[in-house]
Amino acid sequence: MSEPAAFRRIRRIVEGQTVSLLGSAPGSYDASLFPPDQPLVCINAASLGIIGQRTPEITIINSAVAGSPNAGKPTRELLKHISTRTLIIVESGVQIEKAKTVFEPIKREETEIISIDDRCNFLEKFLGKPLTGRVGGMHVPSTGFFSCLVMFACGASRVRTFGLSFDDGHSYLNEMYKREHIERDRDILNWLMAGSFPIEFSPELLSARLLHDKTE
């Protein structure tokens, strides 16, 4: 089976590269953190939390943002301020055709789609086990942790992560919204650490992982 077009596009950008991957967890992220000679991948609307000028090479956005009544609602009002070179729309609980319409204000050069089938097939193959469900925080990891896996599958030599957290809130929103997918994200974090992948996580995220493991 041939690699989906979105994965081929990502591979052309990140293969053999050190990648900076930015999620939307609360915090301050200065543009100087992201070297211009390294691909920057932003998750959902995380680029809005960057202080200074830096256009990501890739923005990976979940179609759920197009319909979520929670953090998705204020995020949709800010889409016109997002610029990226390549937009990757990952299908989830909202169908692609609706999401594509909602995401029209995002400035981009190219758009690729990861269908829900492609996403689920990728996760099952890369992790080596079946999913318990196709959508929802109890069954699949967040877009941020999913994207960590995609970077390595597409040949990134190293991934530096920022803005990945188990804490509530978003770097670009004043309102506090609950973070979902926490248990599945912990599973992915443990899986990556056990596999000795060349990936950098924040000390805060690793401390939260260790604290959770001790309480089980």
pLDDT along the chain (216 residues), means of 10: 91 98 92 96 96 97 93 94 98 95 98 97 96 92 96 98 90 84 92 94 81 46
Per-residue pLDDT of 173-182, as tens digits, reads 888 878 888 8
Q: What is the pLDDT of residue 11?
A: 98
How many structural domains compose the chain?
A: 1
CA atoms within 13 A on the CB side of 120: 14
Tell me the average pLDDT of the chain.
92
Domain range for 156 is 5-215
Q: What is the pLDDT of residue 210?
A: 58
Q: What is the pLDDT of residue 174?
A: 85
How far is residue 159's CA from residue 21's CA, in Å, rounded to a whole number?
7
Closest CA to 180 of 119, 138, 134: 138
How far is residue 198's CA from residue 88's CA, in Å, rounded to a whole number?
23
How far is residue 113's CA from residue 91's CA, in Å, rounded to a whole number?
8
How far is residue 164's CA from residue 161's CA, in Å, rounded to a whole number?
7
Q: What is the pLDDT of residue 216?
A: 46
Q: What is the pLDDT of residue 1?
A: 59
Q: What is the pLDDT of residue 70?
A: 87
